[in-house]
Structure 1
Amino acid sequence: MSTNTRLIETTPERVWDVLADGWLYPLWVVGASRMRDVDATWPEVGARLHHSVGVWPALIDDDTSVLEVEPGRLLKLHARAWPAGAAEVTLTLSPQGAGTNVTIEEEPVSGPAVLMPGPLREPSLHWRNTETLRRLAFIAERREAPTP
């Protein structure tokens, strides 16, 4: 399992707002290229994001579904990216002063990555999730607060 943590300089509510907007998924998830659809119930358990991975014209349509959710605190996903396989990805938010510690844990559950020994796959997962958290921070820290 790969684990990364980053302090994002905004509230857990602002970070959650980004996670809860499925249309923003390809902006912060490394590898996701575009959104095709977002289930109306996102991010409830069972809801799916319909996205594509890759680079045009070699895009592959796939989806990511919610396995567990605690609004404002936890989002556990089953992320598919054929032909690479699938992974369980857990994002945990915890307040840290005026900011939010966000931890992302990723465990491959199918595909070629499952066959690789942990020490070989960890560096690429760690790099990818470092960039994923960096992108999430850029969006959450700069996004305007909702108008009351």
Structure 2
Amino acid sequence: MKKIAFVALIALLAACSNNDEEKKMLLGKWQYNPARMSEEFQKTKPSPQEQVALERFVMMYQNDAFIFEEDGSMLVTTPNGATLNGSWEISPDAKTLFMNLGSQEIPNTITKLTNEELVLAADTTRRSKYTRILKKVEGPAPAANE
């Protein structure tokens, strides 16, 4: 019986993913990358109306900043000075970014995350009709002990 419990514990630990690396990559300030979003969108062979809609989306949001803090808090700022406070979390398998900027937590599928680029999949069931590609514009402040 002890062997079964031990094997089950080892299997559980092996199944758990450590997403610390992805969390560290996400820390800092991010903005939409209009050129990369347009490049990616062209692969879908958009209609002229869809192209105009993407251009409007990019024009409206390209200067917004998403700031992810180490404590799980986040801040979204706009050029006109508006700010939204919220929280964020990455799933244990590092495939989903949960952002809460109001009354509900919104899952975003991560298709790519590096130190320079974050790609969130389009989700036609919500308002995210486009693959959202963000570029890091500023990393986190170094910790006092670094």
Q: TM-score, normalised by structure 2?
A: 0.37
Q: Which protein shows a greater Rg?
A: 2
Question: Relative contact order: is structure 1 or structure 2 higher (C-alpha 8 Å, sep ≥ 6)?
Answer: 1
